[in-house]
Amino acid sequence: MTVKAMLPRGFATSAPIVIVGAGAAGFCAALSAHEAGVDVVVLERDSVPRGSTALSAGLIPAAGTRFQKTLCITDSPALFAADIQRKAHGEADAAIVKSVAQEAGPTIEWLADRYGFPFSVVHDFDYPGHSARRMHGLPTRSGVELIDRLRQTADEAEIPLILNATVSALYAGADRIIRGVELTRPDGTRDTLGCQALILACSGYGGAADLVARHIPEMRGASYFGHPGNRGDAVLWGDALGAKLLHMSGYQGHGSVAHPHGVLITWAVIMKGGFQVNTKGVRFSNESAGYSEQAAVVLAQPDGIAFDIFDERIAAIARQFADFREAETCGAVIEASTVALLAERLKLPSSALAQSFAEVEETKRADKEDRFGRSFAGAAPLSPPFKAVKVTGALFHTQGGLAVDEGARALSSQGGGLPNLFAVGGAAAGVSGSLASGYLSGNGLLTATVLGRIAGKGAANFVTQGG
Ligand SMILES: Cc1cc2nc3c(=O)[nH]c(=O)nc-3n(C[C@H](O)[C@H](O)[C@H](O)COP(=O)(O)OP(=O)(O)OC[C@H]3O[C@@H](n4cnc5c(N)ncnc54)[C@H](O)[C@@H]3O)c2cc1C
C-alpha cells in the first residue's frame, strides 16, 4: 500500500469525493455527501459489500432517541459520553466523544426517518458499561441486514459503487493534498480516479497478522473474527503521509465465540445471570467487566477455552440474535437437566462445576459481590434445563487508527490537519483508548455510522467551498 508522489499525466476519470470501503462507515459517508449535493464514488475490494459490518450484530448505541422514549428509557448524550469515557479509562479524545455521543441519536433517527430503517432498542438486558439501554438494532439483530439496507439505500440514491476495486495506492503531492487513487482489478489491471476529497472507510488492521503482532501482541496468533479484507491500508497510507496514528494497541475482543463452530454467543448469556468456567470447571474472572477484555482472559485459560453456563430462560432472550439461533442450529449449545449431567456432557469435573454453580447462586441470594468483584444484582437463579457453550476468545476489530478531529478530518503527526483526507469507522482511531478494556459495546458501529455521516457532510463542504 503506497502513496505515490508522482502524479499520473491525468486521471482516467474523477469524482469530487472518493470513498474507500463499502462498510457501514463508507455508506453513511456516501449518503450524507450525496444529500449535501456533491457527487461521490465508493470503491470496494469485494464483489459484494460485506465488511466487518456484516459480521456484526448490527447494534448501534445512541442516546435520547425516540425509540428509547417510546420505552420510557431515560438517557442523554452527556450520560452516554460519560459511559464511553469511563470505559476508555479517560483516554478517548473528549471532543470526539462529545461529538459522537451527541450525533448518535440524530444518526439513528436519520437512517430511520429518511431511509426507513426499522430500528428498535434491545430492551431486555444491560450491556456492560452502558448506564441506559441504548443499543439500537434492526429486526434480525444482524449486521447483514444493516449492510444490505445501506447498500440498497445507496443504490436507490444512485450513488456509484465500484466493486472488485482494490484501492492500491493514493496519489498525493508534497503538500500532502490527495489528488486521487489507483485501483487494481482482480485480473491485475489498474486504473486511476482523481478526487478533491478522500474518505478512508476501509477499516482497521485485524486482517494483517504482522500489524496485529506489532501493535497488539496479546492478540498475536488469536483467531481474527472480523473481515479478512481489513488489512490496515488506511494506517499504512496514513503513516506514509505523516498522519498521526493513535491508540494502535486498542482493540475490540470477545470472550464468547463458540468453539470450534466460530459463532458469536451474545454476552446476554452472561449479563442475565450466567457465568464462565474453564476446563477445570472453575470460575476465573468477573465476567461482567466486559466481553472485549474477556478475550485475553479466556485465551489465558488452559487450551484458551471456557464454557458459558446459563439456562433456558436466558437462552430465550439470546434467541433474538441471529448468531445465537445459528449456534443452536449447529449444535454448539449443550443442554442438560442437572448440573451433574451438564458436567458429563461438557467433560468437566462434576464436583468443581457444582461448586461453581453453588458459589454463583449463593452470591445472587446474598446480593453481594463475589471474590472477583462481580455483583449478580437483579439476576434470577439458574434453573433447569441448563445450557452451556464451549467458547474461546477472539479479536473482533482493531480500535487504533488515524487520529481525526470532530469533523473526521485526519490529523497530521506534526499538528494541524491533512487538508482533504478524512477517516471514519475502523480506519480512524476510535473512542476506546489503548486497551481492550476500553471498548464499550457498540463503539465500532458508533464511529462507523456517526463519523461516517459527519465526514460525508464535511467532505462535501470542503468541496463546495472550493477545496
Ligand atoms: C463478530 C463481530 C460482531 C460485532 N458486533 C458489533 C456490534 O453489534 N456493534 C458494534 O458497534 N460493532 C460491532 N462489531 C464491530 C463492527 O463490526 C465494526 O466496528 C464496523 O463494522 C466497522 O465498520 P467499517 O465500515 O469501518 O468497516 P467494514 O464494515 O469492515 O468495511 C470496510 C470495507 O472496506 C473494504 N476495503 C478494505 N480495504 C480496501 C481497499 N484497499 N480498497 C477497497 N476496499 C477496501 C473492505 O472490503 C470492507 O468492505 C463487531 C465486529 C465483529 C467482528
Please list, in sequence order, all residues whose beta carbon lies within 8 angstroms of the beta carbon of residue 298, skipping any fewer than 6 positions away.
Answer: 255, 256, 276, 304, 305, 306, 391, 392, 393
Q: Which among 426, 100, 59 is positioned nearest to 252, based on CA atoms?
A: 426
Q: How many CA atoms lie within 13 A of 202 on its CB side?
A: 30
| Residue of the CA atom closest to atom 35 of ligand 1 | 21
- CB-CB contact of 262 with 392 (8 Å): no
Q: Which among 323, 334, 331 is positioned nearest to 265, based on CA atoms?
A: 323
Model pLDDT for residues 290-313, shown as the tens digit of each residue: 999 999 999 999 999 999 999 999
Average pLDDT, the chain: 96
Torsions phi, psi for 161 (to 5 deg): -125, 115
In this prediction, residues 84-102 reach a mean pLDDT of 97
In this prediction, residues 130-159 reach a mean pLDDT of 97
**From the CB of residue 347, how many other CB atoms can be counted at a distance below 10 Å?**
9
The pLDDT value given to residue 1: 64
Task: Give the binding-site residues of ligand 1, using a 6 Å CB cut-off.
Answer: 20-26, 43-46, 49-53, 55-60, 166-167, 201-203, 225-227, 229-230, 233, 252, 264, 396-397, 425-426, 442, 444-446, 448
Measured in Å, residue 51 CA sits from the centre of ligand 1 at 5
Assess whether the previous peptide bond of 385 is cis (omega < 30° from 0). Answer: yes
Strands 386-398 and 333-336, bridge-based pairing: antiparallel
Residue 5: pLDDT over 80: no
C-alpha cell recorded at residue 180: 486521487
Task: Tell me what percent of the residues of the chain surpass a pLDDT of 90.
Answer: 94
DSSP string, 137-167: E-TT--HHHHHHHHHHHHHHTT--EE-S-EE
Model pLDDT for residues 326-369, shown as the tens digit of each residue: 999 999 999 999 999 999 999 999 999 999 999 999 999 998 99
Could you tell me the pLDDT band of residue 6, with boundaries at 50, 70 and 90? Answer: low
Most informative mutation of 43, 50, 56 for ligand 1 (most atoms within 8 A of CB): 56
Residue 4: pLDDT over 90: no
